[in-house]
Structure 1
């Protein structure tokens, strides 16, 4: 008499996957928690997803849904890591990693942790970088590293191969920044757009212009600009306190987050006169008492609420078709589609660094804790610090042989 299949509860037997029309059907056997042999079937859009569904159903029958075992898939580990990250990271960061796992699971989700050695991980990350972006590669690296750490904790694998895996170092392109003439051309384009919409937009017609002046003058992120409150602007001293930013909450509503990208980036900036003039003009057009309260937005929507950054980004993209602006950008080879709000932040850093002859002022304005971030990603052609060697005049003399 033949014995039972040597399957442990939750363990999958041979998996067979066939294509049925545009979809894929997977079949396998497993044992439930009581030892009964069970047949499983799952249909999905891809063969990988069908295999993942079989794995989940086997786990459910053996009451091991939340357990990590030698049979756990990378997809299961990724989902466990994402669940554990909830509450430990900001919800917008969690949203980024949820999206990362959405496209990462079809790539590697059916594999076991033991399948992900350093060589295979390198191949996976290379494919992600070439087919998606270096940013997507970084997000995938974080997710996979966290998932494999869970496997290490329970002894499924002996070490995390991502810890020692070298990053792909690519030659950084020079950050795009506008010159003074291009800033003037952009200002003019914004003014033209403002005149075109003034009849319908009313007092909020200047929102894009005011936000532009603040961003180009202080080097803020757009969310930081729109997160400024009346109390953050001191017209007497000319200082602007940057201590919050706008984000989308879990329900995709725009809210003010009372901290920046990292907590050590809060800063106070001595503002240029044109920034203070723009903020004063924005305050002057308000006709409600609530709009002038200390906690009210410094830049407001028509309803007196926070302005969604996506709305200004959309308006900013419309400027790329302005013929005069296109001509000004072409002078230095900048493609109109490369013009974003982040270019304004880089422009402020570059112009300040060029004027001061070093990066420290730009670093303080941008709120970077590491000057290398300012140098490598923001300061454009001013990435080299200007040294002062005049002291050698006294040491080495005037150059005469006598």
Structure 2
């Protein structure tokens, strides 16, 4: 059909007319709401210009749906934030992940946008905010972008906005760095420092219990995350004739107000895995588990004085003292370097795919869980290469001296992007 008046687009209004009614002026128009229906809207004021202004204000404040949804374009950003946090509580996410999201919202995102309505949070404003965040911290900007994307995705699903303003922003760029593994000399120096830390006679305070010294041996031999090592229990260790196997099925997280807690799920589903343990790390675990006989199989192998999980913060603090004693305080070495080192050894010995699987970066959990009978066997080859390369006596550093394996840089970058799964929010 041709000719006739074209239909108004959804969400727009037609021409505004005014007429005087006694001492007042009435402005009116027709609005096509988001349900497709045309409805007349009126406003009255003392003058035509005031009546038109009031009418336009009423149009802007109209609900997005006839049922008057909770959010609309004129809703304050803080309303979106409150609703999203309530929805977050219902989602199947690790408690520490939820705490990190809430902290980012409270400390960075909400203060920047709480005085705007949803319609006023434009792509340009988000771009400006993210650029400011990136100057302070690339990881902070990345987390803020992720959070804003989730917030406006929620608003989009509830018809409160017509588009997500985050989608048009620039990609965040991180400074190019080359991830490093520990050298044999650095490993030896830190081992020596750990063995002699606070052993001098006459020092005040309790004698060291050697837990952090043992933790770094297990980190070196298994390339686990720190929280995963701290979550190990005697029941997670299988000491078989063919060698020791560790079951990774949890992590230790630091919660505000509650301290360190064992969480019965690691960082991701792919992180649930069974890995072989080289003999030098297995010796440590055997000694530690032998000392726990009678204390229950579910107690963590590394624990504080009250029997609770050891704090990741305390482990990192003690490790920094090892570095100082080893003469390596300004090298940038952290506990994550142990994960990089194990990954480097395995990647150069048997390939990056094997290393990624060992680290828990890939998963066939859905296929195995629903279609294939689980294979409980574990390839002991990675443990053999870790044992030969990183053992305390006569380590063979030839693999660490080799040229990088294919896609090794990508593997190392994935480790550095993991974040601290045990960090407090």
TM-score (norm 2): 0.64
| Deviation sequence 1:201-260 (CA, Å, 0-9, x none) | 45x611011111001110111110010010111223311111111123574242221211
8 Å contact from structure 1 (residues 227, 246) kept in 2:
yes
Which of 294, 297, 302 is equivalent to 2:300?
A: 297
Partner of 2:252: 246
User: 1:184, 1:201 → 2: CA distance?
Assistant: 26
Compared with structure 1, are the counterparts of its residues 196 and 87 closer, same or farther at alpha carbon in structure 2 (3 Å cutoff)?
A: farther
> How far apart are the structure 2 equivalents of 1:196 and 1:69?
67
Match of 2:413 among 366, 372, 376: 376
Query: Partner residue of 1:221?
Result: 225
Q: With structure 1 as the length reference, what TM-score do the two structures score?
A: 0.68
Instruction: State the Cα distance separating 1:363 from its structure 2 match.
Output: 1.1
Tell me if structure 1 keeps the 8 A contact 2:273–2:360: yes
Q: Partner residue of 1:107? A: 112
Are 1:279 and 2:285 matched, yes or no?
A: yes
Mapping of 1:197-216 within 5 angstroms? Answer: 201=206, 205-216=209-220
The Cα shift of 1:187 comes to 0.7
Matching residue of 1:83: 86
Is residue 234 of structure 1 aligned with residue 238 of structure 2? yes
**CA 1:69/1:2 → structure 2, altered by over 3 Å: closer, same or farther?**
farther
How many aligned positions are there? 304
Q: Which has the higher contact order (CA 8 A, sep 6+)?
A: 2
Aligned residue runs from structure 1 range 69-218, under 5 A? 69-88=72-91, 89-102=93-106, 103-131=108-136, 133-193=137-197, 195-196=199-200, 201=206, 205-218=209-222
Question: Any unmatched runs of 5+ in structure 1?
Answer: 7-65, 330-334, 380-402
What pairs up with 1:380-395 in 2 under 5 angstroms? Answer: none
From the two aligned structures, give the one with the greater helix fraction.
Answer: 1
For the residue of structure 1 that corresponds to 2:327, the secondary structure is helix
Report the 3-state secondary structure (helix = DSSP H, G, I; strand = E; otherwise coil) of the residue aligned with 2:262. Answer: strand
Matches within 5 A, 1:317-328: 317-322=320-325, 324-326=326-328
CA 116–199 in structure 1, closer or farther in 2 if over 3 Å, else same: closer
Segments of 5+ residues of structure 2 without an aligned counterpart are: 1-21, 28-68, 364-406, 417-425
Q: Which residue of 2 aligns with 1:361?
A: 354
Superimposed CA distance per residue, residues 121-176 of structure 1 (whole angstroms, 9 cap, x where no aligned partner): 22211111112x12211221122122223332343321113235442233531113
Aligned to 1:267: 273
Q: Quote the RMSD (CA, aligned, Å).
A: 2.9
Alpha-carbon distance change, 244 to 194 in structure 1, aligned in 2, over 3 angstroms: farther
Listed one character per residue, the Cα deviations across residues 38-74 of structure 1 (whole Å, up to 9, x for unaligned) are xxxxxxxxxxxxxxxxxxxxxxxxxxxx932332122
When Rg is computed on C-alpha atoms for both structures, the one with the higher figure is 2
Measured at CA, do residues 71 and 205 of structure 1 come closer, stay the same or move farther in structure 2, by a change above 3 Å? same
> 1: CA distance between counterparts of 2:362 and 2:277?
21
Residues 378 and 143 of structure 1, relative CA distance in 2, 3 Å threshold: closer
Bigger mean CA offset, 87-96 vs 269-278 = 87-96
